[in-house]
Structure 1
Amino acid sequence: MIKGGLAGSGIRRVAGDSGPERVLIAASFTNRVGNGLFNAASALYFTLIVGLPAAQVGAALTIAGVIGLGAGIPGGHLADRRGARPVMMAALAVQAVSMAALVLVESWAALTVVATAGQLAAAVAGAAWGALVVRVGGERPARFRAKLRTFVNLGVILGTVGAGLALAAGTRGAYVTLILGNAASFGLCAVLLLLLPRYPVLAAPPRQQRRLAFTDRPFLVFTALYGAMGLQYPVVSLLLPIWISEHTEAPRWTVAALFAVNSLFCVLTQTRIGSRIETPHDGGRAFRTAGLLFLVSCPTMALAAYAPVWAAAGLVLAAVFVHSLGEVWESSAGFALGFGFAPDHAQGQYQGLLGLGFNAGQALAPAILTTVVLGLGTAGWLLLASFFAALGAAGPALARWGARTRPGPNVVADDVAG
């Protein structure tokens, strides 16, 4: 009995420190499994099964992404004033319907309309999710956010494995199953949120500006820096695979290995590292650490072009290991600064703005990385490394600036500690 109780307690600690934490972890995990199913096969479905030209698919998704950028801030404000849970559930319902509608798409126009509806709902859901995470996180928000991201990464990995099986089959039925599976994940995520408490809406101070986040200069600067640092994500998913195939002697299986190393390393280390980064002061230092790690990883990736086959493979895997460590520090810094700067009654609005900056950076990333970095070769990698290091170096000063402008005594204490 004692062993069973201890085992059960250990399982609960791994899955969450409270009932609401476990609910949100389960909901997020379920949704990300569905995302993993769809994301790995979406482009191939529209090009190979539906028969749309790749250029049309790219244009439709780009238009949808750009339009969706504008929904996060008003969606976050709505979550602050009406409650994060109902707003997120409504957005998830729209995502479920729009995802299921993709199986009916047969033209570029239809894809653009359906994808735009999904992106608008995704922006609203992202902002509401941020506000909900703050309420559920309680007294140890950093630990909870790190644990949540661990399970999110694990969900994507499992979903991607399922997508691989469907891709191997290559039939329309297999692809449709992936799409409907993702749609079901949105619906199940919404249903699981019903198990969360009804958190009361926090009253805003009198005369608060509707767009408070836009007047918060430290947060605006952080949003820009965070969006720019977000270029590090496509380095592994887009830039490095092209570099390996076109400029190195590394075996082609290295491309698959780097994804496995990146995902598994983040799963294994996110909670251990992220749970220690709780305050904006911690976040500023973590942002600097991330920049320094990218300063090491990017030149190592470039060196692979000058090494023989097995040495090139080793350099690539070592670089991805260091880069993944930087990713964990960068995401943990984003949690500490992004949530720590925002007042509790306006978390949704602030997370909407932060999401806008991050998504804008992701939209620009493919063009920047493929033209500037690949175009310049090794010099481009060194320029990218210096760029990341410079962004990270601004972290501690940004945290101190933010601390001086926060009204709360806890954040001011962080500044004194720095």
Structure 2
Amino acid sequence: MIRGGAGDDTAGEPTARAQRALIVGSFVSRVGNGLFNTAAILYFTLVVHLPATQVGAGLTIAGLGGLLAGIPAGNLADRYGPRTVWLTALALQAVTMAAFVTLHSWLAFTLVATLDRLAATASGAAGGAVVARAGGERPAAFRARLRTFVNLGVVVGTLGAAVAIQIGTRTAYTALILANAASFACAGLIALRGVPNYRPLPRPAEHRRWSVLADRPYVSFVALYSAMGLQYQTVSLLLPIWLTAHTDAPRWTVAALYAVNSGVCVLLQSRLGARVETPGQGGRAFRLAGLLFLVSCPLMALTADVPAWVAPVLAVLAVCVHSVGEVWESSGGFTLAFTLAPEHAQGQYQGLFGIGFDAGQALAPLLLTGVVLALGQPGWLLLGAFLAGVGAAGPPVAAWAERSRAADARPEPVGTPEQAGA
């Protein structure tokens, strides 16, 4: 059980209790996310009666605006302690989410959605710094276990949302939104009682508020991770459209693929993720993920050339391969994101990491539908080759980052150049 009275990490606070609190809090908040994300578009269009185009425009504005909070929130976390900033962001998310039930106009929707995304980005930056501090002696194993429960929480929330969608009343949708708001509040209370109030770490004299932008290996890694992020919406967006438009597969296939994807990630995340603990292992995991995507994308393309009864089987096989790739990709990405970041600047670095991922996800629908779907089967082959190429860049970028950090850690020679070389 999570006990109260979490103090500073220097007072002997057990790492295990902090990890347990983070797991429980993250699970609760992701159940709420699953409830809301599954039904959000239906609520805004069918209940609030906003045109779908306006909802899309508002969400785009909110998504782009939310990117602005990443590095500033990370800097605040590094300066004043990550838990304080994280709890503030969770409280703001609870308020903005509850405000969605009061909306009646597009302007109000866009304003609240933008505030919500700003809070979510800040929460990601500060929460990432908290996870880095709570990781203990085996941070990779903890991050893998945390992601397992995050995925499980989304699955549980999605199942709950399906019930509300089937009921289809305003009351049912309102209950979903308020439950998501409550999930943020509950996650904050769990963190308040179970996660230490980590003190800011001493910062070197050369530290700057935008130091991460001068760290070229890390910026390069973030760019790779953002590009590889196309794979997430390959299963959630591109494949369902493809199956509906280009195959005779039963419509239940789409729901089955969501279940398979979530199930594989939940079952394998801890087992595989615990093997990725160093930057070198993270780079190799990235490369392996790209190779698996190179296999899965052509399999998805082939569903258009097989009989209706074969298409679901082939799609499930493709998603299984793709999901294993997703586990390796996320494990490698999170390992590199945390191990390459200086301990005193985890918030700032996690802020940039979150910005990169969110920007990639914002562009993904345009690229997947406007390029891959438009090209048909060649587009799938192009996507697989692109992801494999991005993955192949993982090991050299990881090695570059390790070399740069080794050089930075090398002590400066004492005396004149002639004396130093004597």
Structure-1-length-normalised TM-score: 0.93
Q: Could you give the per-residue CA deviations for residues 36-60 of structure 1, whole angstroms, max 9, x where no partner exists?
A: 0100000000100111100011111
Counterpart in the other structure of 1:324: 323
**Contact in 1 for aligned 2:15/2:136 (Cα 8 Å):** no
Counterpart in the other structure of 1:133: 131
Give the one of 192, 195, 205 matched to 1:194. Answer: 192
Counterpart in the other structure of 1:117: 115
Instruction: Provide the C-alpha distance between the structure 1 equivalents of 2:404 and 2:103, rounded to a whole number of angstroms.
Output: 50
Instruction: Provide the C-alpha distance between the structure 2 equivalents of 1:105 and 1:203, rounded to a whole number of angstroms.
Output: 45
**Given residue 83 of structure 1, which amino acid in structure 2 is its aligned partner?**
G
**Contact in 2 for aligned 1:249/1:307 (Cα 8 Å):** no
Q: Could you give the per-residue CA deviations for residues 48-104 of structure 1, whole angstroms, max 9, x where no partner exists?
A: 011110001111111011000111111011101111101000001111000000000
**Contact in 1 for aligned 2:80/2:199 (Cα 8 Å):** no
**Contact in 2 for aligned 1:278/1:336 (Cα 8 Å):** yes
**Contact in 2 for aligned 1:167/1:175 (Cα 8 Å):** yes
**Contact in 1 for aligned 2:84/2:197 (Cα 8 Å):** no
Instruction: Provide the C-alpha distance between the structure 2 equivalents of 1:162 and 1:250, rounded to a whole number of angstroms.
Output: 26
Q: CA deviation at 1:407?
A: 4.1
Instruction: Provide the C-alpha distance between the structure 2 equivalents of 1:278 and 1:70, rounded to a whole number of angstroms.
Output: 30
Q: Could you give the per-residue CA deviations for residues 327-355 of structure 1, whole angstroms, max 9, x where no partner exists?
A: 00000001111111100000110011111
Instruction: Provide the C-alpha distance between the structure 2 equivalents of 1:200 and 1:73, rounded to a whole number of angstroms.
Output: 19
Q: CA deviation at 1:410?
A: 10
Q: CA deviation at 1:209?
A: 2.0
**Contact in 1 for aligned 2:341/2:349 (Cα 8 Å):** yes
Counting only pairs closer than 5 Å after superposition, residues 88-107 of structure 1 correspond to structure 2 as 88-107=86-105
Gaps of 5+ in 1: 1-15, 412-418
Instruction: Provide the C-alpha distance between the structure 2 equivalents of 1:203 and 1:326, rounded to a whole number of angstroms.
Output: 38
Q: CA deviation at 1:207?
A: 2.8
Q: CA deviation at 1:167?
A: 0.4
Counterpart in the other structure of 1:159: 157
**Given residue 260 of structure 1, which amino acid in structure 2 is its aligned partner?**
A
Counterpart in the other structure of 1:12: none
**Given residue 98 of structure 1, which amino acid in structure 2 is its aligned partner?**
T
Q: CA deviation at 1:408?
A: 8.6
Counterpart in the other structure of 1:341: 340
Counterpart in the other structure of 1:41: 39
Counterpart in the other structure of 1:108: 106
Counterpart in the other structure of 1:260: 259
Instruction: Provide the C-alpha distance between the structure 2 equivalents of 1:26 and 1:408, rounded to a whole number of angstroms.
Output: 39
**Given residue 221 of structure 1, which amino acid in structure 2 is its aligned partner?**
S
Instruction: Provide the C-alpha distance between the structure 2 equivalents of 1:52 and 1:206, rounded to a whole number of angstroms.
Output: 52
**SS of match in other structure, 1:309:** coil
Gaps of 5+ in 2: 1-13, 411-422
Counterpart in the other structure of 2:359: 360
**Given residue 267 of structure 2, which amino acid in structure 1 is its aligned partner?**
L
Instruction: Provide the C-alpha distance between the structure 2 equivalents of 1:207 and 1:368, rounded to a whole number of angstroms.
Output: 39
- Structure 1 residues 258 and 410, CA gap change in structure 2 (3 angstroms): farther
Instruction: Provide the C-alpha distance between the structure 2 equivalents of 1:390 and 1:72, rounded to a whole number of angstroms.
Output: 28
**Contact in 2 for aligned 1:290/1:392 (Cα 8 Å):** yes
**SS of match in other structure, 2:90:** helix
Instruction: Provide the C-alpha distance between the structure 2 equivalents of 1:392 and 1:223, rounded to a whole number of angstroms.
Output: 13
**Given residue 346 of structure 2, which amino acid in structure 1 is its aligned partner?**
Q
Q: CA deviation at 1:309?
A: 1.1
**Contact in 2 for aligned 1:95/1:118 (Cα 8 Å):** yes
Counterpart in the other structure of 2:272: 273
Q: CA deviation at 1:199?
A: 1.4
Instruction: Provide the C-alpha distance between the structure 2 equivalents of 1:29 and 1:95, rounded to a whole number of angstroms.
Output: 16
Instruction: Provide the C-alpha distance between the structure 2 equivalents of 1:383 and 1:242, rounded to a whole number of angstroms.
Output: 18
Counting only pairs closer than 5 Å after superposition, residues 54-65 of structure 1 correspond to structure 2 as 54-65=52-63
Q: CA deviation at 1:400?
A: 0.7
**SS of match in other structure, 2:405:** coil
Counterpart in the other structure of 2:379: 380
Q: CA deviation at 1:383?
A: 0.3
2:40 pairs with 1:24: no
Instruction: Provide the C-alpha distance between the structure 1 equivalents of 2:151 and 2:334, rounded to a whole number of angstroms.
Output: 16
**Given residue 372 of structure 1, which amino acid in structure 2 is its aligned partner?**
V
Structure-2-length-normalised TM-score: 0.92
Q: CA deviation at 1:409?
A: 10
Q: CA deviation at 1:24?
A: 0.5
Displaced runs of 4 or more, over 6 A: 408-411
Instruction: Provide the C-alpha distance between the structure 2 equivalents of 1:350 and 1:63, rounded to a whole number of angstroms.
Output: 24
**SS of match in other structure, 2:200:** coil
Q: CA deviation at 1:208?
A: 1.5
Instruction: Provide the C-alpha distance between the structure 1 equivalents of 2:40 and 2:251, rounded to a whole number of angstroms.
Output: 23
**Given residue 64 of structure 1, which amino acid in structure 2 is its aligned partner?**
A
Instruction: Provide the C-alpha distance between the structure 2 equivalents of 1:165 and 1:206, rounded to a whole number of angstroms.
Output: 55
Counterpart in the other structure of 2:233: 234
Q: Could you give the per-residue CA deviations for residues 359-380 of structure 1, whole angstroms, max 9, x where no partner exists?
A: 1110000010001001000000
**SS of match in other structure, 1:405:** helix
Instruction: Provide the C-alpha distance between the structure 2 equivalents of 1:65 and 1:258, rounded to a whole number of angstroms.
Output: 27
Q: Could you give the per-residue CA deviations for residues 135-193 of structure 1, whole angstroms, max 9, x where no partner exists?
A: 11111000000000000000000001110000010000000000000000011111111
**Contact in 2 for aligned 1:43/1:57 (Cα 8 Å):** yes
